[in-house]
Amino acid sequence: MKKIIFQQRKKLAVVASALVAVFMLTACGVDSKQSAPGKNTDSSPQAAANYPAKGIEYVVPYAAGGGVDLVARAVADAVGKKWGQPISVVNRTGGGGAVGAQYALAQPADGYTVLANVVSNTSMMAASYKNPAIKLEDQQLVARIVKDAPAFTVKSDAQWNDFNSFSEWVKQNPEKLSWTTSGVAGYSTYVAAEWLHQLGVDVGKTRMIVTNGTADSLPLIAGGNALLAVHPVSEVATMVNSGHLKILAVSSTDRSPFFPNVPTTAEQGFKDLSAFWWTGLSMPKGTPEAIVKKWSDTLAELAQDPEFQAKLKTMKMEPSYLNTADFNQFVTQEAAYYGNLATQLGIVK
């Protein structure tokens, strides 16, 4: 009996010590990362000149396969080869992009953790919430990399063939318009709201259907469960080419090179629609200037690189580089514009 109890205790001890050991291991892992700034954050010019001396973590706060992820992977691949250091894309999903962004911006400001940003978790987030989960002030915006125009997309056998007659119909029947978006403060919401606002239609009268994103939203349109989807051209291209959907208008100043036959919104009389999708790069606040510049310059070279351009082309995207100064100014203006729109529409939370 005594022996059994002893054995049992021994087992317990083994299990407990294993648990403790594992916890210590993981804790150390976390610690060594967080204690790094104390030892390593060296903002001296040498540190920047030697940068990167090790691999870089490129945080994508969204699931693999989306637009932000694809661009990040193309950039990580090209820049990694150029600098001779591995750049690993890490998808930290959840909270509509907040979880990954909060993590990345809390890392040491040494350039070894960078964050993929996108219009919806910067300008639009700042505009939509009184207390946004990620604040613009908390990050060092580095550069814009790619932009993509929104496409007003309906089912291929829908009754409208041009944007004007569709807009006219919506004006007459606002309560019949059902449209999809990836969140109340999502990208599609701003594009659609901007258009409805200009038409003089009350957004609250229309039927907004919140989805998980493009993979969830496009089948709703193709299956006749909703009328309109507003997504970047790159995300609707597949199902438009397959004959399931058609684009009534692309919202930009120039026609999309991928759909040269589709007129722009401006051509159809909507001069002031300006919302579009873009993605770029951020870093934790306080990253040495030389490192920010190195990234920004490299991304500028990349935008001119034929191989990179070809890769974007297969994704139906185009480079649209802005350097650090221009990018900051652009985001500030954009956030103010969306903030104004959000207040007028009453969607600020």
Partner 1 sequence: MIESIISLGQGFLTAVTPINLLMAVLGAFIGTFVGVLPGLGPTSAIAMLLPVTSVLEPSQAIIMLAGIYYGSMYGGSTTAILLNIPGEASSVPTCLDGYQLARQGRGGPALGIAAIGSFIAGMVGLVGLVFFAPFLAEQAIKFGPPERFAVMVLALTVTSGLSGGSLVKAAIMGLFGFMLSLAGLGTFSGLFRFQFGIDALSGGFEMVSIVIGLFAITEVLKNIGERQTAISPDQIGNVYPSRSDLKQSAGAIAAGSVIGFVMGLLPGCSAAVTSFLSYDIVKKFSKRRSLFGKGAIEGVAAPEAANNATSSAGFIPLLSLGIPASPPLAVLLAGLMIYGVQPGPLLFSQQGGFVWTVIASMIIGNVALLLLNLPLIGLWARLTRVPFGVMGPVILMLSVIGAYSVRNSLFDVLVAVLFGFVGYFLYKFNWPVMPLILCFILGPMLEQSFIQSMSMSAGSFGIFFTRPLALAFLVVAALMIVISGLLVRRTKQRLQQEGSGQISPLS
* Residues in 128-157 that interact with partner 1 by CB under 8 A: 128, 133
| Least distance from partner 1 to the Cβ atom of residue 6, Å | 12
For tokens 């915006």, the residue is: 141
Residue 208 in the binding site for partner 1 (CB under 8 A): yes
Residue 70 in the binding site for partner 1 (CB under 8 A): yes
Name which of 265 and 279 has its Cβ closer to partner 1.
Answer: 279
β-bridge pairing 277-284 and 139-148 = antiparallel
Rounded distance between C-alpha atoms, residue 136 and residue 335, angstroms: 9
| Least distance from partner 1 to the Cβ atom of residue 220, Å | 7
Rounded distance between C-alpha atoms, residue 138 and residue 9, angstroms: 51
* Residues in 24-63 that interact with partner 1 by CB under 8 A: 26-27, 30, 63
* The one segment of 38-46, 203-211, 256-264, 326-334 that binds partner 1 by CB under 8 A: 203-211
Rounded distance between C-alpha atoms, residue 127 and residue 331, angstroms: 11
Residue 75, amino acid? V
| Least distance from partner 1 to the Cβ atom of residue 148, Å | 14
Instruction: Work out which of 6, 11, 53, 82 binds partner 1, going by CB under 8 A.
Output: 11
Give the number of other CB atoms < 10 A from CB of residue 222: 19
Tell me how far CA of residue 110 lies from CA of 17, 34, 222, 279, in angstroms: 36, 12, 46, 22
Residue 212 in the binding site for partner 1 (CB under 8 A): yes
Radius of gyration in angstroms for the set of CA atoms belonging to the chain, rounded to a whole number: 24
Structure tokens at 124: 């639009």
Give which of 123, 127, 105 is closest to 114, Cα–Cα: 105
Phi, psi of 94 (to 5 degrees): 115, 155
Name which of 107 and 296 has its Cβ closer to partner 1.
Answer: 107
Name which of 74 and 292 has its Cβ closer to partner 1.
Answer: 74
Interface residues with partner 1 (CB under 8 A)?
Answer: 4, 8, 10-12, 14-15, 17-19, 22-23, 26-27, 30, 63-65, 69-70, 73-74, 77, 88-96, 98-99, 102, 128, 133, 175, 178, 183-186, 207-212, 215-216, 218-220, 222-226, 237-239, 241-244, 311, 314-315, 349
